[in-house]
């Protein structure tokens, strides 16, 4: 029939009575599907005469010359956090030397996750770069099940099975706290990111180890959790001052949150750095434009983007390539806030 639309993964899933993820796994030969579900999917595929786009185009063994950079965050976070733009620049630089096109994909809800799953199942991209990784995010495991080359900026945990690149988060945090101790600070608090992220746990570890090596305690009351936003930094700083009014320094796990912490300190009449010293993390453009300018741990974000793209291209060319784990060094940049 001329006007009949070609069936999609969504159509197959509805006919088989399963989710789109299950259909994708069957198509890609994953073993993580029950025999009953596999039989239902295969029956639906035959009944609907479903053919994945990549097969229809004869691209099963050829390239789309396209990779997806997947960011599971909102547009507001993407726009306000310099980290993401720096990663994109690094990725773009690496891909500019090739014929590979970059697709930027935001995954903010289940619908967009399903759309990404369908795109991956039909091999509309050769590989995926994933940033802002949370511990229980199903995307990395799903992409791994599908057999699609995938490289992470960050990791879910130290046991990460996929190739990944990240900064020396623990070492950078430790250097920041050692600097504050050398300045004579003794009650050093921290504002962390979301606790379901390895980057947060690693920077907390560095804060804690630096204090313990210097013979200081690192009680829970000195740690407040934020969300990598300016508003989160304001709220966390307010909570710390309420519970530990005697604090004389704070290590903040991102420059964006540090900017919020500076706003709250100013609102409460605390002079920086005379009364409270502040150190951030990233050394983004924000650090040079706060008042006072922000001491920050520099991480090579563009290099992270460049490196994950290079690794992905290598894994696309050589699917049997061993998984890689790359840790890039950090550097403390001292400014007026400490």
Q: What is the mean pLDDT of the chain?
A: 89
Q: What is the pLDDT of residue 61?
A: 47
Q: What is the pLDDT of residue 19?
A: 84
- For residue 197, what pLDDT band results from cuts at 50, 70 and 90? very high
- Determine what percent of the chain is predicted with pLDDT higher than 70: 93
Q: What is the pLDDT of residue 55?
A: 42
Mean pLDDT for the stretch of residues 19-31:
75
CA distances 318 to 16, 29, 303, 315, 327, Å, are 35, 20, 22, 5, 22
The pLDDT tens digits of the residues spanning 5-16 come to: 667 778 888 999
Q: What is the pLDDT of residue 53?
A: 52
Mean pLDDT for the stretch of residues 68-77:
83
| 273 CB neighbour count, 10 Å cutoff | 19
Is pLDDT at 62 greater than 70 in this prediction? no
Is pLDDT at 77 greater than 80 in this prediction? no
322 Cβ contact partners less than 8 Å away, ≥ 6 residues apart: none
The pLDDT tens digits of the residues spanning 148-187 come to: 899 999 999 999 999 999 999 999 999 999 999 999 999 9
Give Cα 120 distance to the centre of its chain. Answer: 19
- Please report how many Cα atoms fall inside a 13 Å half-sphere around the Cα of residue 13, on the Cβ side: 15
Mean pLDDT for the stretch of residues 262-287:
97
- How far apart (Å, rounded) are the C-alpha atoms in residues 29 and 211? 50
Q: What is the pLDDT of residue 57?
A: 40
pTM of the model: 0.80
Is pLDDT at 204 greater than 80 in this prediction? yes
Name the nearest CA neighbour of 87 among 70, 74, 100. 70
Q: What is the pLDDT of residue 112?
A: 79
- For residue 60, what pLDDT band results from cuts at 50, 70 and 90? very low
Mean pLDDT for the stretch of residues 224-233:
95
Mean pLDDT for the stretch of residues 79-105:
90
Is pLDDT at 2 greater than 70 in this prediction? no
- Return the top range by mean pLDDT from 34-48, 123-137, 215-229: 215-229
Q: Domains in the chain and their CATH numbers? A: 9-51 (1.10.260.40), 66-165+302-326 (3.40.50.2300), 169-298 (3.40.50.2300)
Is pLDDT at 134 greater than 50 in this prediction? yes
- For residue 318, what pLDDT band results from cuts at 50, 70 and 90? confident
């Amino acid at each position: 029939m001329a006007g009949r639309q070609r069936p999609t993964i969504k159509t197959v899933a509805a006919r088989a009575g399963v989710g789109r993820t299950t259909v994708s796994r069957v198509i890609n030969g994953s073993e993580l599907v029950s025999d009953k579900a596999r039989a239902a999917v295969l029956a639906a595929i035959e009944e609907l005469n479903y053919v994945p786009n990549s097969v229809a185009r004869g691209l099963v063994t050829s390239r789309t010359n396209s990779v997806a950079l997947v960011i599971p965050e909102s547009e507001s976070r993407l726009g306000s956090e310099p980290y993401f733009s720096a990663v994109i620049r690094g990725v773009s630089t690496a891909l500019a030397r090739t014929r590979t096109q970059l697709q930027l994909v935001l995954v903010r809800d289940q619908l967009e996750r399903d759309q990404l799953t369908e795109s991956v199942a039909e091999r509309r991209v050769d590989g995926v770069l994933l940033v802002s990784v949370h511990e229980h995010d199903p995307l990395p495991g799903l992409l791994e099940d599908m057999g699609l080359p995938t490289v992470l900026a960050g990791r879910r945990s130290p046991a990460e099975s996929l190739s990944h690149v990240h900064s020396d988060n623990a070492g950078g945090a430790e250097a920041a706290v050692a600097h504050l101790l050398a300045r004579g600070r003794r009650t050093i608090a921290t504002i962390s990111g979301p606790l379901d992220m390895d980057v947060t746990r690693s920077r907390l570890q560095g804060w804690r180890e630096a204090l313990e090596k210097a013979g200081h305690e690192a009680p829970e009351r000195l740690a407040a959790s934020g969300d990598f936003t300016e508003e989160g930094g304001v709220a966390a700083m307010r909570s710390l001052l309420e519970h530990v009014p005697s604090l004389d320094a704070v290590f903040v796990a991102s420059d964006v949150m540090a900017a919020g912490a500076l706003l709250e300190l100013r609102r409460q009449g605390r002079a920086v750095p005379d009364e409270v010293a502040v150190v951030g993390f990233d050394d983004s453009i924000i650090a040079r434009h706060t008042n006072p300018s922000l001491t920050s741990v520099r991480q090579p974000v563009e290099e992270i983007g460049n490196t994950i793209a290079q690794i992905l291209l290598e894994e696309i060319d050589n699917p049997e390539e061993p998984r890689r784990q790359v840790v890039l060094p950090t550097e403390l940049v001292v400014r007026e806030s400490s």
